[in-house]
Amino acid sequence: MTKTNAPSTPEHFQAAPWFILGGGAMGCLWAYDLAPNSIILAKPERYLQYTNGSSTALITTKLSYRQASQNVPFICECRLANIQNYSSPILKLIVTTKAQDTLSALSAVQHTLHPQAHILLLQNGMGSQQAVKEQFPIHTLWCGSTTQGAYTTDFLHVVHAGFGQTAIGPWHTTSETNPHFSAIFQQQLIAQGQQVTFIKDIQPLLWQKLAVNACINGLTVLFTCKNGELLTCPNRLKWVEKLCQETEQLLDNKHIALTKPLFQHVCHVLKQTAENYSSTYMDVTHQRPTELMYINGFILSEAKQLGLLLPSHTALMEQLAQKGIF
C-alpha cells in the first residue's frame, strides 16, 4: 500500500479511486458514474448498517431516471468505506455534502488526504470554498456548479429527476499542481456519464447560481410554496424583484458580470422549475439545517464588507429566523 505522503506518479493518480464525501443524491450520482472506481465514504452507523462490518462493501445503487421511459432502475455496485477508520491515501475526492458540513467532513479524512490530492467541491452556496482553501492550502481545489436534478428516496437510492450540466473550474490554486494530474482529473470526469465541461474561471458561474438561489430558496420557505408559486402572486414576485435588484447591486460592486439581467434569469428558472420545491424548502420539510447562511448569509456578509445595505435580504433572513429557520 502506498504511504500517505509518498509522492504519487501520474500512473498511480490515474488508477487511484474516486472518493465521494457526502452520500446524498449528488454523491450517489457521481459514485454511480465513476463506478467501479468510486468509493463512498460513509458515516460509521451507515457503513455498519449497509455492510455488516466488512472492510469495503458492495452496495447497490438504483437510479430510475436514465431509462425513465422504460421505468427500469439502473443498478450499480458501489464500494462503501467507513469514514472513521479509512486510512489509505486519498488522491481524488469529490465533496457533495451540504455547505455547512464541508469542513467537518473534510476534517474526518484529513489524516488520509495525500498532499497531492485534488478536491472537487460540488455544493450550493458560497463560503465553504473559501474556508476549504484556507484550511487545506496545499491541496488542489476545484469547484463546480451543476444544474443536475436529483433526490434520494433512501440512502443510495437516487432518482435522477432532470439531466443538467456541470461546469468545473480551478479555485485560486496557489500550490504547485502537477499538470499531468490535472489533465487526468479532467479527462476522467469528462469521460463519465454526466455532461461536464471545464472552464478557466468558475467564479462568475458560482455567483450566478448563488444569486439565483438567494432570490428563490428562502422565499419558498417564507411562503411555503413551490418555485412556480413565487411567480403567480404579485406580493411574492415583488420580493423576488427586490432581492434581484439588491443582489445585482452587490455583483456590480464586486465587478461580477451576469450573462443576463438577474430578474429575467430568475423568472426563467422559476418557470422551468415551477413544479419543484426548492432544496431549502425540502431541507425545512425534512427538519434538516438549511444552507441559507451560505446563500443569503454569504451575500449579506459580502455586502457588509463593501458597506452596502441590502434591506430585502436582511428582512428575509430575519423573518425566517423568527420562524426558527436558519
Using CB under 6 A as the binding criterion, the count of chain residues that bind ligand KPL stands at: 11
Q: How far apart are CA 30 and CA 15, in angstroms?
A: 17
Q: Report the catalytic residues.
A: 209
User: Which whole-number Å values give the CA distances from 111 to 4, 55, 89, 114, in the listed order?
Assistant: 8, 19, 9, 8
The bridge status of strand 157-162 relative to strand 165-170 is unpaired
- Does the footprint of ligand KPL cover residue 221 (CB under 6 A)? no
- Does the footprint of ligand KPL cover residue 212 (CB under 6 A)? yes
Please identify, using beta-carbon distances, which residue of 89 and 127 lies nearer to ligand KPL: 127
Cell of 224: 411555503
Q: Are 226 and 274 in contact (CB under 8 A)?
A: yes
- Does the footprint of ligand KPL cover residue 299 (CB under 6 A)? no
Please identify, using beta-carbon distances, which residue of 222 and 269 lies nearer to ligand KPL: 269
- Which among 213, 182, 155 has a CA at the least distance from the CA of 22? 155
Q: How far apart are CA 215 and CA 29, in angstroms?
A: 27
Using the rule CB under 6 A, which residue among 194, 276, 290, 312 binds ligand KPL?
276
Interacting residues of 253 by C-beta distance below 8 A, sequence separation 6+: 306, 308
User: Candidates 33-41, 269-277, 300-308, 310-318 — which segment interacts with ligand KPL by CB under 6 A?
Assistant: 269-277
User: Candidates 2-10, 91-99, 210-218, 236-244 — which segment interacts with ligand KPL by CB under 6 A?
Assistant: 210-218
Can you list the alpha helix ranges (DSSP code H) found in 80-174? 102-109, 128-135
Length of the chain: 326
Nearest approach, Cβ of 217 to ligand KPL (angstroms)? Answer: 5
Please identify, using beta-carbon distances, which residue of 194 and 227 lies nearer to ligand KPL: 227
Question: In three state form, how does the secondary structure of 43-75 look?
Answer: CHHHHHHHHCCCCCEEEEEEECCCCCCCCCCEE
Using the rule CB under 6 A, which residue among 217, 290, 296, 312 binds ligand KPL?
217
Q: How far apart are CA 305 and CA 21, in angstroms?
A: 32
For residues 105 to 144, the per-residue mask of contacts with ligand KPL, x marking binding by CB under 6 A and - elsewhere, is -------------------x--------------------
- Does the footprint of ligand KPL cover residue 152 (CB under 6 A)? no
Nearest approach, Cβ of 276 to ligand KPL (angstroms)? Answer: 5
- Does the footprint of ligand KPL cover residue 194 (CB under 6 A)? no
Binding residues for ligand KPL (CB under 6 A): 124, 212-213, 216-217, 227, 269, 273, 276, 278-279
